Amino acid sequence: MSVDSSDMDAEFQRGHAAHMSGDLEAAAASYEKILQQDPRHAPSLHGLGNVMLRRGHIDRAETFIREAIAADSTAAGYHNSLGNVLVGRGLFEQARAAYRAELNLRPDFAVAHHQLGVLALNEGRNEAAIECFQSALKFAPQFSVAANNLGRALNNVKRYEQAAEAFRHALRIDPGLAQAHANLGHVCRVTGEPAAARQHFERALKLDDRLGGAHRGLAQLALAEGKPALAVAALNEAIRVDPTDARALALLGGVYFGEGMIENAHSAYSRAIDLQPDDPDLLSDAAAVSRVVGQDDEALERYKAALALRSTHQEALSGYALLVSDRGDAKAAAARLAPSVNSGRAGPHLLSTYAAILGKLGRRREGITLLETALQKRQPPEVSMRLHFALAALLDGEGSYDLAFYHCRRANEERKSPFDPDSFARQIDAIIQSFDPRRPALPVSAWQAPGAVFVVGLPRSGVRILSRVLGRHEQIEALAPSAQVENSVLGLWRVAGVNWPAPLADVAENDSTRVAQQCLSGRLPTSCAATWFLDSTWRNYQFLGVIARLFPGVRIIECVRDARDIARSCYFADFATSKGLPFSYDLNHIAAYINGYRRLMDHWRQTPGLSIHQVSYERLVLDAAKECRSISEFLDLPYSPEAFGLIERPEEAGSWRLDAKALRRYRHYRAHLEGFVEALDAPPES
């Protein structure tokens, strides 16, 4: 049956109304009915093309829209729709031509200006994008999405005040525009308004809890506040809602790396690279983690990939050269860095690496002079800190200990620590009060096998070395350090609606069992035949009262070391990427942390269900076989030197750095550590 002109107009209006309401099936039916009678009906061709685009049928969409343009090349919106189709096909230059064709017909068409801006923004041409978005807003002042994207482009060129105003304009138009709240939160964060930033991030997530940028923003706020566990939780939520969020995975890798959760960091970075393999910054960061987990071949390939993308990438150059040097070719490593250093283009990391390699080549004095010259210039605090640390290491190697300590102190003075000794002491008090041995914190779980061994200790006390040695035993399944126990425990408190470590009430046995399983989810092999699993996350010392209830019969191995060596090692370490050791910036803060740690461990020794065995770092270095025999007895395991990979000389156990030269290094700095020793509540000896 034929359709007359008036009926055709009515049918088109029905199809258009269905299209606008989201009923694509009804819209397509109307458009197709018209096209059966008039195959060149341009509005129906255009409408059907847009329906196909919404359905993801790109080829059919392009066919219909091109036929619409052929039927009526001057109709409004047709070229713009073609541009959208071409963007979907990745043909960006052709899309740009289509949008410009639309503007030739209608110079005041705001949507086409906006789409050109989006193309420029995605290509990193921010100034061009700004111009396009401003044109869109000139012709459509209430175009909230254009205002939001204008803010994004302004933010990219660090015009933060203008960016904030653009985002606020978008929100005046549409207060429910979640993305604008998230973007404004970012600007507030980088301009030093954390409270306002948090408000906008939280508002964004109330409007749309799938906004990865808002979750990432909350994570960055948590890191700035020295709360890595909260940052991990926020980033995991971002990844939960979008497993392809490479930026969240990269941030998560950085947090884990800073916290010493190296295997977790390696996994997060590897997943991020799979999603975004052409990011040189990501590749370089991931390569650094690959080195720490002992995968030097992988690290080398990642450094090479980063340098192939950006040959002057400072961090990748430094990492690559250091790896080559460590593999025995310090001369080639120095030669690779020399052009950048001689040209004056070397940043602090590259300069520090070059100086360290010169030290390996017997040119330590040359490296010292290089760093001293760099420090004579006025440097930003972050740069100055790194150079002072590098210089301190060279001077220490030279035996100029007083001067080494001076530069180490200067380095630590350059960074601001969020560590509050009084707050930390109150936290320790709260844990002790909540975990009174006479009042168990929660029911014992039904966990049975394998048995649990937790290795804890202060940083630089030997936790990592000991866990590597113990992991060689066939009856011990060594797990990678992870924040999973901490997150699972804190999650239990959050679910209960109380802040850690306040006492819990009404926790059932199955809750304890569930949390125990969460602590090991994805970490313990499904076919684990070992007698014990071993968790060597040093920070778990805070949660031993909970661990005793989650894993009945748990054995705790505490690594202890002379506090003076711990203090010297932490104070001389460049923890610039870590928010997990903020106390290391000040010797008095290190003393306060050690005091709190020792006080809590003394409390745990009085807690039923906790069996704690101490391993001395010094004794492990001097007589590894004797210490491993003692550990075997503690874990009810048969002992043999072969079981732990021990060979004739104990210092070669597991090929790890059981080096007597690491003992009593503090003696070179005895005078500088007098105040630290006085601040300790107990003698420094382990």
**What is the identity of the amino acid at 645?**
G
The angle, 0 to 180 degrees and rounded to 10, between the axes of the packed helices 42-55 and 24-37 is 150
Angle (CA) 294-298-302 rounded to 5° is: 125
Q: Is the pLDDT of residue 646 over 80?
A: no
The band of 498, judged by pLDDT with boundaries at 50, 70 and 90, is confident
Q: Is the pLDDT of residue 655 over 60?
A: no
Question: Which residues are paired to 560 by β-bridges?
Answer: 616
Q: Is the pLDDT of residue 653 over 70?
A: no
Q: Is the pLDDT of residue 499 over 60?
A: yes
647-656 long-range contacts, CB within 8 A, separation 24+: 650/621, 650/622, 650/623, 650/624, 650/625, 651/621, 651/624, 653/469, 653/624, 653/628, 654/465, 654/468, 654/469, 654/472, 656/465, 656/468, 656/469
3-state secondary structure (DSSP) of residue 664: coil
Q: For residues 445 and 552, is the Cβ–Cβ distance under 8 A? A: yes
The band of 680, judged by pLDDT with boundaries at 50, 70 and 90, is very high
Give percent above pLDDT 90 in the chain: 59
Alpha helices in 414-502 (DSSP H): 421-434, 463-470, 484-496
pLDDT averaged over the chain? 89
Angle (CA) 421-422-423 rounded to 5° is: 90
Q: Is the pLDDT of residue 194 over 70?
A: yes
Q: Is the pLDDT of residue 672 over 70?
A: yes
Backbone angles phi, psi at 479, to 5 degrees: -95, 150
- Domain 421-679 classification at class level: alpha beta
Q: What is the pLDDT of residue 5?
A: 65
Q: What is the pLDDT of residue 658?
A: 62
- Residues 116-155: tens digit of each pLDDT: 999 999 999 999 999 999 999 999 999 999 999 999 999 9
Q: Is the pLDDT of residue 363 over 70?
A: yes
Q: What is the pLDDT of residue 575?
A: 67
Q: Is the pLDDT of residue 686 over 70?
A: no
Q: What is the pLDDT of residue 642?
A: 81
Q: What is the pLDDT of residue 24?
A: 84
Q: Is the pLDDT of residue 271 over 90?
A: yes
- Domain 262-413 classification at class level: mainly alpha
How many Å apart are CA 116 and CA 407, to the nearest integer?
A: 53
How many Å apart are CA 330 and CA 337, to the nearest integer?
A: 11
Q: Among the listed ranges 261-265, 330-334, 620-624, which one has the minimum average pLDDT value?
A: 261-265
- Residues 438-470: tens digit of each pLDDT: 666 678 888 887 889 999 999 999 998 899 889
Give percent above pLDDT 70 in the chain: 95
Q: Is the pLDDT of residue 648 over 60?
A: no
Superfamily covering domain 5-242:
Tetratricopeptide repeat domain (1.25.40.10)
At 532, which helix (H) or strand (E)? strand 532-535
Sheet holding 476-479, edge to edge: 476-479, 532-535, 451-457, 555-560, 611-616
Angle (CA) 451-453-459 rounded to 5° is: 165
Q: What is the pLDDT of residue 510?
A: 81
Q: Is the pLDDT of residue 649 over 50?
A: no
Q: Is the pLDDT of residue 527 over 70?
A: yes
Q: What is the pLDDT of residue 13?
A: 84
- Judge if 5-242 and 262-413 fold alike in CATH terms: yes
The band of 670, judged by pLDDT with boundaries at 50, 70 and 90, is very high
519-530 mean pLDDT: 78
Q: Among the listed ranges 425-439, 514-528, 542-556, 637-651, which one has the minimum average pLDDT value?
A: 637-651
Domain residue limits, the chain: 5-242, 262-413, 421-679
